[in-house]
Amino acid sequence: MTPSERLKTGRPSVFHTSRRRFLATTAMGLVALSASGARARVLFGTGLPWDSGAIEPPRQVLPGPWIFFTAREAELVEAIAERLIPADDLSISGKDAGCAVFIDRQLSGHYGSSERLYMKGPFQPGLPTQGDQSGLTPAVRYRQGLKALDAHCRQTMGGKSFTDLSPEQKDQLLTAMEKDEVKFDGPVSAVSFFGQILQNTMEGFFADPVYGGNRDMVSWKMIGFPGTRYDYRDHVLKHNQNYTLPPVSIGGRSDWARKG
Amino acid sequence: MTRNRLAIAAAAALLVSAAVPAILAVPARADDQDFGLIERGRYVATAADCVACHSVPGGKPYAGGTALQTPFGTLVAPNITPDRETGIGNWTEEDLRSTLREGIGRGGKRLYPAMPYPAYTRMTDDDIHALWSYLRTLPPVSNAVEANQLPFPFNIRLLMAGWNLLNFEPSSFKPDPQKSGEWNRGAYLVQALGHCGTCHTPKSALGADDNDRALQGANLQAWYAPSITADKRQGIGNWSVDQLTAYLKTGANHQSLASGPMAEEIQNSSSKMTDADLKAIATYLLDQTPSAGKAPGPLAADDARMRTGGAVYTDTCMACHGGDGKGQTFLFPTLAGSGLVQADDPATLIRLVLDGSRAVATDDRPTGPAMPPLGWRLTDADVAAVVTYIRNSWSNAAPPVSAGDVAKVRKTLAQAN
Amino acid sequence: MARKLPRKDVVVIGLGWTGSIIANELCDEGLDVVALERGPWRDTATDFNIGYAPDELRYNVRQELMLRPAQETVTARNNADQTALPMRHFGSFHPGNGVGGAGVHWAGITWRFSPADFRLRSHYTERYGAQSIPEDMTIQDWGLTYEDMEPYYDRFEYLAGVSGKAGNLNGQMQEGGNPFEGARQREYPNPPMMQTYGPTLFAETAAKMGYKPFPIPSSLLSRTYTNPLGVTMGQCTFCGFCTNYGCANYSKASAQTTVLPVLMRKSNFELRTLCEVLKVNLDSSGKKATGVTYIDTSGNEYEQPADLVILCAFMLDNVRLMLLSGIGTPYDHRAGTGTLGRNFCYQMANQVVGFFDPAKYNFNNFIGGGATGMAIDEFNNDNFDHGPLGFLGGGSTRCAPIGAEPISRRPTPPGSPTWGSGWKKAVRDSYLSNLSVGCEASSYANRGNFLDLDPTYTDRLGRPLMRITFDFPENDLKMSDYVTRKVAEIVRAMGAQQIDENPRTGHWSVVPYQSTHVVGGTAMGMDPSTSVVNPYLQSWDVPNVFTVGANVFPQNSGYNPTGTVGALAFRAADAIRSRYLKSPGPLVHA
């Protein structure tokens, strides 16, 4: 088992208990507020409540079928991630690090749907200082942006799709998008789509491997970030000296046990 | 003077109770103006931690209802408020006495030893009388409790006659004249009221105390209650009387924080006892020196389990318990030199890593920090390795723990949850 | 129809820093206190579990501990001629949510404001003359003095276990402390934090330049500590996951690690979570609050009667609840009348990043914490002569390595590529060898900056959102430019090869994160025509309503606000305990 699989297999029923168990078993004077089943909680007089089932660890993302992307979309995103973060002597590529898997899973969750954001109208254009007012969710941006990118390539690159381009041609197009020198059809501009995919690719490359990117903590090893380590007291006063312990992810690292 | 009044009150009570059938079903009454006696009874109830079993969380005190999981099935502690229908309102003091001293309740009903009468049998008549006087002052609560939920054949109370024949003999507390009054007070509190052995003394196959190994640690309800003898490796022999007293009073001392069932005990019982009594308990316990078993040598630091465990420890545990295993006083327990850490039975350690736990909060030490649940992050092999590591680092020495041991605890916890 | 609940003595709205302090104090007075908290219960070992607390994507990027804009946000515009639009995503600042509030995810820097801060208009008038204060700058005195605040600062510092070095003990200057601070009655409860390489180099360089560096006062603790309530906190381990994260090992002061263990044991305290207060109810006279109306997650409405209502929510919500409840007179910026919503201010966050030779410098930036580091105060407040400068105010300059989570904190030198192999090399070279020095600076009130209710946008319950009308006043931009140049001089002297200077410029934008130190809107003061609450934080209009939070600041100092907010909470509680309860009514007669 790889460390990244640990969370999945190493998470048996102990923590599968729900927060509801709290209501049933706590010794903490906890009651439902009304007979109509209000979920609001009342606590009084009996100290801090305790429920080990109240933890909410992340779930390990594993490579596998695409959840949000179509096969074609995924191919495009992987091709872009491979150019934004190319394989070289410093690291594997963004594609091989799992950035597209990361983005796929993010888009299929609350991030993709903007469900935590303020999405009430009226939607009206604002000033740059007022932030994005488009009302487009990241999921829609990808769907529309990838479609527009493909169409743009076929129209301007002699019928070729983005994935057919040479690395240099891909870089040229991405550079033009970044500089707002390309016009996309549809609601998503080339420059904003570039910004979106650059941001998400970097998130995937640098986030904890539990989210599907940053395979084997490749980016952390590249820059020297020790990950989820929580205690540097021994090194605080070792000024200007390299830190030598390897990085740790939420799923652990290879020096942990291999078998569950 | 006071003693005389008590004696008269007791005699009067007995007289009334003896006369009950002939006169009226008026239950025995203690002198309910004798505030001193009632207060003393309340203290006896506290020291005996009656409320722990005879109440449900958030419910009325002493109104019964906590389910005890025994190896033989479920028992529910009855309502001991003076309610006539559902409590002990029509009991006599003699009923209580025979319950505590002989395990035989009103009407000859035999109790199961989940009720710790094998300990309470040593209670003094004075304490029983005081307890009775106190229980009579509780507000009656109507709460019917089905006490016996054991499966056949254990639900046959008469079986307990046989059990008692094999395992139980009514007795009384016998002071040791060679020891100090304080030591003897401690012995009484430990053996009788405190019934420490109920958790800390290993049990026979029939659930009886194995008195040859008294207080040397036992496993119950997926917690291992460690040795509370002066054993220096697995027990608390490195604690001073003051340190043990502080632990019982506040739930925390220089090394340790109570959690699990001991947290409840401290919250309900020992934190409310007098310093003198706690010191007496400490004096007695720290004079219990079992013949130390052969201590295992620590695993070699280059053992593969130690290397893996060290990695997990550094990455997950060190930010609280420290690279030196010393923890932080009143917040993160010291692992180095801890009896619980080195106990032969690692059940408590394993469950703390898997499921976490809240330490007790008391008025003196209100923090109540909690060990985070880590079973979601660590595999059975990881837990085995890290527990093996802390059991064999910083001069600790204890047998290694296997992934199978962890799997068993994980399964038990999953069922309990 | 709201269901009416049994009366309580006190209802506290919001259980963060101020709510927990006030509730605890009033419970000690024997009052029956109920706290209504909009968010969920949160606790260390479960919600900040050490196995997943250090998760940058979840907590810093996706902001899991923050208020969700879907529940409530604000609208924003730079001036009254623009149409305010909603902050659909929190960028510029991050309101907290849940038990512990923003105090869960704060950095831990714990200042006292300077003596001059509390009588700011008087101070500048005395030193530079009335004409030195621009006509549209509505700075004012707080209605109390530093000496009035000192005992309460002391209480908050000992509650939180602040680690630092005194600069002025009862008037005696102390080597190694802040020479500009007001006199304090005793040392900090804990010694200063250890310092990593970056702040050490900063302090050495600053000292050579004639400045007086001192350790940042930190509510991340330098050692195990038990506070006066008996609650024990841990030693900070420099994990670098403070700002925007909950602390997993009890070493950052918060309601959770300082007050709640005691408060939650009290039988006269009750907490209701996931309950959002809709409004404070007033009687027919409009001069007396009768309690609050709130809603639970099932949509059930309740009326909670109470004799005393204390607003302890995030400052924006305190102001909004007063606007929604009709407590006080809304500010009209054109007429210059009314006070509620007036003097909304921010914090000018300026930064200089130095890029050093990676072959020679390794700052290990991931080792740190929100409040570790070294500071100088030469360019703060009025510690330097503003006479020839043409602006007022300043900021605290500090090198504070708050952590180096790589999605968000991997600066590259100006001109570096943003992607591709060239970018990768720049990140690799800069990650451990860059160093930031910031200047968290004052924000002075301006006639055109204010809060009111938005006419268009509403929250999920249909209530108007708060509308922020704010832009950086010219005074503050000049100040930012000046202090940032001063900071850059130091960073250059430290040996940086390349420098990226980021003074606050242009118009305020909601997009980039700057600071959560939004303040004002219910200014405190002695004059009801320019303040909403008196110096005990009691409403001038409805004397059984108090509000505790940064919303009572008349303007912002060049310091982080939490120390002052905590001190004000203790002061308000003390006034209620010692004076209000004996004779309920106005504590100050206008």
Question: Are residue B138 and residue B228 in the same domain, yes or no?
Answer: no
Tens-digit pLDDT profile for residues A161-206: 999 999 999 999 999 999 999 999 999 999 999 999 999 999 999 9
- Domain assignment present for residue C585? The answer is no
Do A40 and C297 count as a contact with CB atoms less than 8 A apart?
yes
Do A223 and C432 count as a contact with CB atoms less than 8 A apart?
yes
User: C244 pLDDT exceeds 50?
Assistant: yes
C239 vs B contacts (CB less than 8 Å):
319
Q: What is the CATH number of the domain that holds C160?
A: 3.50.50.60
Do C43 and A49 count as a contact with CB atoms less than 8 A apart?
yes
Q: Is C94 a catalytic residue?
A: no
Mean of the pLDDT values across residues B146-159?
A: 69
Residue A259's pLDDT is what? 47
Q: What is the rounded average pLDDT for all residues in chain B? A: 87
> At B205, is the pLDDT very low, low, confident or very high (cuts 50, 70, 90)?
confident
- Domain assignment present for residue B32? The answer is yes
B362 vs C contacts (CB less than 8 Å):
none
A224 touches chain C (CB under 8 A): yes
Mean of the pLDDT values across residues B85-94?
A: 92
Question: Are residue B347 and residue B223 in the same domain, yes or no?
Answer: no
Q: How many domains does chain C have?
A: 1
Do A131 and C510 count as a contact with CB atoms less than 8 A apart?
yes
Q: What is the CATH number of the domain that holds B338?
A: 1.10.760.10
B367 touches chain A (CB under 8 A): no
Six-digit token pair at C44?
A: 């260390």
Residue B74's pLDDT is what? 78
Tens-digit pLDDT profile for residues C500-559: 999 999 999 999 999 999 999 999 999 999 999 999 999 999 999 999 999 999 999 999
Six-digit token pair at B233?
A: 């490796």
ipTM for this model: 0.95
A127 vs C contacts (CB less than 8 Å):
78, 82
Residue A14's pLDDT is what? 28
B367 vs C contacts (CB less than 8 Å):
230-232, 250, 261
> At C585, is the pLDDT very low, low, confident or very high (cuts 50, 70, 90)?
very high
Mean of the pLDDT values across residues B355-383?
A: 96
Mean of the pLDDT values across residues B143-150?
A: 77
- Domain assignment present for residue C14? The answer is yes
Do A129 and C273 count as a contact with CB atoms less than 8 A apart?
no
Place of tokens 């091709």: A79
Question: Are residue B108 and residue B83 in the same domain, yes or no?
Answer: yes
Residue finishing a domain among B167, B195, B216: B167
Q: Which helix (H) or strand (E) holds C71?
A: none
Question: Are residue B233 and residue B95 in the same domain, yes or no?
Answer: no
What average pLDDT values come out for chain A (260 residues) when binned by 10 residues?
38 28 26 33 76 92 94 97 98 98 98 97 96 96 97 92 95 97 95 98 98 98 98 98 97 80
Question: Are residue B15 and residue B141 in the same domain, yes or no?
Answer: yes
φ, ψ at C588 (rounded to 5°): -130, 130
- Domain assignment present for residue C590? The answer is no
Range with the poorest average pLDDT among B83-87, C123-127, C303-307: B83-87
- Domain assignment present for residue B291? The answer is no
Residue A22's pLDDT is what? 27
**Window 112-131 of A, Cβ < 8 Å to C:** 114-120, 122, 124, 126-131
Question: Are residue B259 and residue B348 in the same domain, yes or no?
Answer: no
- Domain assignment present for residue C587? The answer is no
Range of the domain at B119: 2-167
Do C248 and B372 count as a contact with CB atoms less than 8 A apart?
yes
- Domain assignment present for residue C279? The answer is yes
C70 vs A contacts (CB less than 8 Å):
115-119
Angle at CA of residue C472, ends C467 and C475, nearest 5°: 140
Minimum CA–CA partner of C363 in chain A:
A240
Picking from A1, A15, A60, A230 by the largest number of B CB atoms within 10 A of its own CB, the best residue to mutate is: A15
C261 touches chain A (CB under 8 A): yes
> At B20, is the pLDDT very low, low, confident or very high (cuts 50, 70, 90)?
very low
| C452 beta partners | C467
φ, ψ at C319 (rounded to 5°): -65, -45
- Domain assignment present for residue B172? The answer is no
- Nearest-Cα distance to chain B for A102, in Å, is 20
Tens-digit pLDDT profile for residues C408-444: 999 999 999 999 999 999 999 999 999 999 999 999 9
Residue B158's pLDDT is what? 66
- Nearest-Cα distance to chain A for C196, in Å, is 5
- Domain assignment present for residue B325? The answer is yes
Between CA C25 and CA C34 the distance in angstroms is 13
Between CA C87 and CA C70 the distance in angstroms is 10
B151 touches chain A (CB under 8 A): no
C237 touches chain B (CB under 8 A): yes
Q: How many domains does chain B have?
A: 3
**Window 186-215 of A, Cβ < 8 Å to C:** 198, 202-203, 206-208, 210-211
Burial of A191 (0-12, 13-18, 19+ CB in 10 A): middle
Picking from A9, A11, A14, A16 by the largest number of B CB atoms within 10 A of its own CB, the best residue to mutate is: A14
- Domain assignment present for residue C494? The answer is yes
Question: Are residue B85 and residue B160 in the same domain, yes or no?
Answer: yes
Mean of the pLDDT values across residues C209-238?
A: 98
Between CA B47 and CA A73 the distance in angstroms is 70
Question: Are residue B20 and residue B159 in the same domain, yes or no?
Answer: yes
- Nearest-Cα distance to chain A for C203, in Å, is 14
Mean of the pLDDT values across residues C119-144?
A: 97
Among B332, B371, B372, select the one facing C234 at the smallest CB separation: B332
DSSP C497-551: SEEEEE---SS--SSS---S--EEES-B-S-TTT-SB-TTSBBSS-TTEEE-SGG
Picking from B69, B379, B405 by the largest number of A CB atoms within 10 A of its own CB, the best residue to mutate is: B379
A30 touches chain B (CB under 8 A): yes
- Domain assignment present for residue C434? The answer is yes
Mean of the pLDDT values across residues B65-75?
A: 72
Do A15 and B373 count as a contact with CB atoms less than 8 A apart?
yes
Do C68 and A116 count as a contact with CB atoms less than 8 A apart?
yes
Six-digit token pair at C122?
A: 């008087």
- Domain assignment present for residue B411? The answer is yes
Going by C-alpha positions, the residue among B183, B295, B282, B177 that lies closest to residue B230 is B282
Residue finishing a domain among B234, B255, B285: B285
Do C194 and A236 count as a contact with CB atoms less than 8 A apart?
yes
Q: Which helix (H) or strand (E) holds C291?
A: strand C289-295
Q: What is the CATH number of the domain that holds B254?
A: 1.10.760
Picking from B305, B352, B371, B377 by the largest number of A CB atoms within 10 A of its own CB, the best residue to mutate is: B377
- Domain assignment present for residue C588? The answer is no
Between CA C562 and CA B373 the distance in angstroms is 31
Residue B32's pLDDT is what? 64
Range of the domain at C483: 3-580
